[in-house]
Amino acid sequence: MTEFKWHLMDEEVPPTGYGHYIIMGRRGGMYYADNFETAPYMSCYHFHVPNSRDNYKYDYEVKAWAEIPMPEVES
């Protein structure tokens, strides 16, 4: 069984590029994100959150993040 390893956004950021993340907002909301990148029009980073109203959560809106581990496949 795999577990999530949470990282506080104020202490550590994920590598830029595509990935699979669970992010926790500053007020406790949980979101799925599929990308972390620099915001070209701002001096910050953002997660891409598909199927949400604004599609992005900026780094200052995120309290913590965890990479979603790939499932272990038994052969």
What gap in Å lies between CA 67 and CA 20, rounded to an integer?
6
Does residue 42 fall inside a structural domain?
yes
Does residue 30 fall inside a structural domain?
no
Does residue 15 fall inside a structural domain?
yes
Under 8 Å between Cβ of 19 and 40: no
Q: List the domain range (segments joined by +) for residue 42.
A: 6-25+36-64
Does residue 75 fall inside a structural domain?
no
* pLDDT tens for each residue of 41-54: 777 889 999 987 88
Does residue 12 fall inside a structural domain?
yes
* pLDDT tens for each residue of 19-72: 999 999 999 999 999 999 987 777 788 999 998 788 889 999 999 999 998 877
What gap in Å lies between CA 32 and CA 67, rounded to an integer?
10
Instruction: Count the domains in the chain.
Output: 1
- Give the global pTM: 0.83
Residue 1 to residues 5, 19, 60: CA-CA distances in angstroms?
Answer: 13, 20, 32
Q: Does residue 1 have a pLDDT over 50?
A: no
Does residue 48 fall inside a structural domain?
yes
What gap in Å lies between CA 14 and CA 64, rounded to an integer?
10
